[in-house]
């Protein structure tokens, strides 16, 4: 009897069969003190979300039920630090008590049906035995239970602490740098040493697209993505003469700056055979005393990794929404099939009564409605609905 019960419990936990260390922890954890109860008793909606989460390499967690029991995957365990593995199955608020004043209201909004998205939110966490300033980009989405009501929330998250710290350092450096460059250009003095000490890609060109200044970081990047190294005095369009598509792209953005326009643009540049990256480009122009443009300059930053992080977050949210839609379709089809079969049963019962009376009444026996045809119709209808229900169930992601 005990072996049979253990076998049934094992079958009920197949949705936890993957997921690395987090999945193994869920299978072996003593759930007696968890507000979630044992996984074998979890509703199907929660199982579907957990299976999706465990199969992802992106940091995710789900908080479920009135007490917001907390579940997460391997990638999120890294964010938890010393709070893992004790956090598994615990209450959301107890795990992140030190930042609950920041994220608690967001969680409440999700449970009210309002999804949220925050980029680079500053949070002071204690996950390694001491307080530390961190930044995170994440979204909170409501999750509905089997009855269609909101039963929990789902989060896809990326820690952006290193990125924010680096960007702030570069911004501080470049703010001073840009001011110094602007002053030097206003006096028509070109000091290459002003821009050589930054990681930003800095270039300046005259109205004929000749380089008047270019720092080492920019020259290195130009060579890496286009295969040719520029230097002061070179014509950027001539350097790209054998790459007409890239030549036109470079000419397009520089023409705007050389016409006097100040702007910021994010776009992709580079030969795909070498490397193609996304850049945030800030352009401005230098004018003489009569207001004529005599040069233009740019400050460029590589933002490829930031855009990829945003895309991964979007895909994670789309996958969750699709899973919930398919689950709802399966439940609707199942209900319709049951109701339709009940109606067919009543119709067939009526025709069976006619057949029995036909044996006693000559007039009824001559009616052109054999009961066998009705039974065939019932069988075919039941088969069609069963087939549709099976297709709906197999199409629903688990």
The pLDDT tens digits for 173-226 are 877 777 776 776 665 555 555 556 667 888 999 999 999 988 888 899 899 889
Among all chains, which residue has been given the structure tokens 């026996």?
A: 365
Share of the chain above pLDDT 70, in %: 74
Q: Using pLDDT thresholds of 50, 70 and 90, give the confidence band for residue 3.
A: very low
Structure confidence by residue, pLDDT tens digits, 222-254: 998 899 999 999 999 999 999 999 899 999 999
pLDDT for res 43: 96
Tokens 């016409």 correspond to 259
Count the residues in the chain: 398
CB neighbour list of residue 188: distance below 8 Å, 6 or more residues apart: none
pLDDT at 367: 52
What's the CA gap between 153 and 107, in Å, rounded? Answer: 7
Helices 20-28 and 44-54 sit at what angle, rounded to 10 degrees? 140
Q: pLDDT averaged over the chain?
A: 83
Q: What is the pLDDT of residue 285?
A: 92
Torsion-angle region of 119 (φ positive above 0: left; ψ -120 to 50: alpha; else: beta): beta
Task: State the pLDDT confidence band at 342, using cuts at 50, 70 and 90.
Answer: low
pLDDT for position 201: 86
- Name 134's bridge partners: 123
pLDDT at 39 over 80: yes
Of 276, 295, 277, the residue nearest 286 (C-alpha): 295
What does the DSSP assignment read for 208-256?
T-BEEEE-HHHHHHHHHHHS----TT-BHHHHTTT-HHHHHHHHHHHHH
pLDDT of residue 178: 72
* Coil, strand or helix at 201: strand
Residues 6+ apart with CB under 8 A from 142: 110, 111, 112, 113, 114, 115, 150, 152, 153, 154
Query: Whole-angstrom Cα distance, residue 285 to residue 257?
Result: 6
**Helices 304-358 and 44-54 sit at what angle, rounded to 10 degrees?**
150
Q: Can you tell me the mean pLDDT for 34-50? A: 95
Say if residue 366's pLDDT is above 60: no
Name the pLDDT band for 49 (thresholds 50, 70, 90).
Answer: very high
Asked if 304 and 290 count as a contact pair (C-beta separation under 8 A), the reply is: no
pLDDT, one tens digit per residue, over 249-279 is 999 999 999 999 999 988 888 888 888 888 8
CA distance 384 to 45: 26
Residues 6+ apart with CB under 8 A from 267: 249, 253, 278, 279, 281
* CA dihedral of 362, 365, 366, 370, whole degrees rounded to 10: 180
Question: Helices (DSSP H) in 72-125: which residue ranges?
Answer: 74-80, 92-95, 100-111
Which two tokens mark 20?
């690395």
Measured from the Cβ of residue 273, the count of other Cβ atoms closer than 10 Å reads: 7
Q: Find which of 144-153, 190-199, 325-334 is predicted with most confidence, using mean pLDDT.
A: 144-153
- Predicted local confidence at residue 341, as pLDDT: 65
What stretch of H or E contains 320?
helix 304-358
Residue 319's pLDDT band, with cuts at 50, 70 and 90, is confident
pLDDT at 87 over 50: yes
Return the sign of the alpha-carbon dihedral for residues 172, 177, 180, 181: negative
């Amino acid at each position: 009897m005990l072996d049979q019960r253990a076998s049934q419990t094992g079958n009920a936990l197949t949705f936890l069969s993957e997921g690395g260390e987090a999945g193994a922890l869920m299978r072996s954890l003593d759930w007696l003190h968890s507000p979630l109860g044992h996984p074998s008793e979890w509703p199907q909606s929660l199982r579907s979300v957990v299976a999706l989460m465990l199969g992802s390499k992106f940091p995710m967690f789900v908080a479920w039920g009135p007490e917001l029991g907390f579940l997460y995957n391997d990638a999120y365990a890294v964010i938890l630090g010393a709070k893992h593995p004790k956090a598994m199955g615990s209450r959301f608020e107890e795990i992140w008590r030190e930042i609950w004043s920041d994220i608690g209201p967001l969680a409440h909004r999700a449970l009210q049906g309002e999804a949220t998205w925050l980029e680079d939110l500053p949070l002071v966490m204690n996950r390694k035995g001491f307080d530390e300033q961190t930044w995170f980009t994440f979204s909170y989405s409501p999750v509905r239970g089997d009855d269609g009501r909101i039963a929990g929330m789902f989060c896809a998250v990326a820690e952006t602490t290193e990125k924010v710290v680096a960007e702030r350092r570069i911004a501080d450096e470049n703010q001073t740098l840009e001011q110094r460059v602007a002053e030097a250009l206003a006096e028509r003095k070109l000091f290459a040493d002003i821009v050589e000490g930054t990681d930003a890609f800095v270039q300046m060109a005259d109205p004929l697209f000749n380089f008047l200044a270019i720092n080492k970081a920019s020259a290195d990047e130009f060579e890496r993505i286009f295969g040719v190294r520029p230097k002061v005095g070179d014509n950027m369009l001539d350097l790209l003469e054998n790459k007409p598509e890239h030549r036109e792209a470079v000419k397009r953005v520089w023409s705007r700056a050389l016409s006097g326009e100040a702007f910021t643009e994010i776009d992709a540049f580079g030969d795909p055979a070498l490397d193609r990256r996304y850049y945030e480009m800030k352009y401005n122009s230098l004018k003489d005393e009569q207001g004529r443009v005599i040069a233009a300059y740019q400050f460029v930053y590589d933002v490829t990794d930031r855009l990829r992080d945003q895309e991964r977050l979007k895909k994670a949210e789309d996958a969750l929404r699709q899973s919930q839609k398919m689950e709802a379709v399966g439940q609707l089809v199942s209900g319709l099939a049951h109701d339709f079969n009940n109606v067919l049963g009543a119709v067939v019962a009526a025709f069976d009564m006619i057949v029995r009376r036909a044996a006693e009444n000559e007039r009824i026996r001559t009616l052109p409605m054999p009961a066998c045809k009705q039974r065939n119709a019932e069988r075919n209808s039941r088969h069609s609905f069963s087939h549709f229900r099976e297709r709906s169930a197999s199409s629903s992601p688990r």
